[in-house]
Amino acid sequence: MNFAFLTSYPLDVRIGSGVIRTLVGWQLGLQKLKQHSTLIVSQIKATTLLSLTNQRLQFNRCITKMDFGLYDYFIGSDFDGYRLDVGKLPPYFVFNGALLADIARFEEGRTAKILKHLARREQQNMQKAIAVFVPSLFSADKVSSLYHIPENKIHLIPLGNDYTEWQQLLSQAGIMTNSKKIILSVARQYPRKGIADLLKAFTLIRKKSDLYLLWIVGGGPQLEANRRLAEKLGIASSVRFYGDVTDRQNLARLYKNSDLFCLPSYHETFGLVFLEAMASGLPIVAYRTTAVPEVVSEDTGILVTAAAIHQLAEALQFLLDNPSQSQKLAATGKIKAEKMTWQASANQLIYTLLNKI
């Protein structure tokens, strides 16, 4: 089999984190299954959403002149591929991991307008595809209800993690001398990721003890606002914003030296970062919303009601105060992560193509 995966994002997780990690992950999984695949990506660079959007749309115009006939399967992603003539393509499929029509509700003004515009392109892309692949049941429901894609055209492909490679990085990561307990959060800094909620919850537990630290990894449009909020809440001395950490070894070091993971996101179509935390042996605290419960179960973490800051703080405090329970959740999570590899996900992709479509 010879696959082509299409995205207008460059190979830069700071820009297209979830999509890039999924397509690179599938390529890794297919390689282990002795299958060939090619990533068709852009080289764009952008500092604003408007600039990024314009360059991504331009990329989609440019690829209409390319010949993709040598591939057995061609898989677009989100809205990428919407301008292609499927009559001139190998069998055409779409992976949707964005749900732009859904996340637009978390934004305002120009950002919301841009996302709604791109959501219409997403719909065009999925309508002409033979089938649509989604990472969660939540996504399947939204693709059907928001984009009016027939349910029998939507297929679930759970995502994965590079478990073996990640364990090697963790084993090589150094121990950081620290007497305090550390809460780690890793995410692009968008409003929907709930970092402001985490800062407020951390303020509540920080009042009880100064033996806790909060490490936040990830850049993005909300980063400076979150820094200012930490200052306003009086917890800046206990919070470290690392910004983008693109070196995987450095990221592994932060995971290895943390005690628990928390991302109170309001919207996830899957949540790759939760698998990464499980593979690192960390218990998880998150919101019970969107696709999160499909990845984080009760035996791998604690889920609380979205926007319930006091519940979030109580869950964090409980795990910080109960190392035996934390270790139990972490151990179960690690077993789950070991099974949910990119090879398993790629194998499901192949099975779906051969047997369900």
Domains of the chain: 2-160+341-355 (3.40.50.2000), 163-339 (3.40.50.2000)
Distance CA 312, CA 324 (A): 19
> Which pLDDT score, from 0 to 100, does residue 44 have?
87
Q: What is the pLDDT of residue 17?
A: 73
How many Å apart are CA 63 and CA 79, to the nearest integer? Answer: 13
Mean pLDDT throughout 107-129?
96
| CA–CA dist 226, 145 (Å, integer) | 33
User: Tens digits of per-residue pLDDT, 281-325?
Assistant: 999 999 999 999 999 999 999 999 999 999 999 999 999 999 999
At residue 178, the pLDDT reads 81
**DSSP code for 337:** H
Provide the residue type at 37 as one letter: S
Residues 283 and 298: their CA atoms lie apart, in Å, by 10
| Chain segment 195-237, per-residue pLDDT in tens | 999 999 999 999 989 999 999 999 999 999 999 999 999 999 9
What whole-number distance in Å separates Cα of residue 96 and Cα of residue 147?
A: 11
Could you read off the pLDDT of 22-74 as tens digits, one per residue? 999 999 999 999 999 999 999 888 778 899 999 999 999 999 999 998 999 99
pLDDT value for 14: 60
- The overall average pLDDT reported for the chain is 95
Q: Is the pLDDT of residue 13 over 70?
A: no
Cβ-contact 214, 258 below 8 angstroms: no
Rounded-to-10 torsion of CA 252, 257, 259, 262: -40
Contact predicate 49/114, CB 8 Å: yes
The pLDDT, as a whole number, for residue 16 is: 54
Whether the per-residue pLDDT at 80 is higher than 60: the answer is yes
Structure pTM? 0.94
CA-CA distance, 298 to 315, in Å (whole number)? 12
The pairing of beta strand 239-243 with beta strand 260-263: unpaired
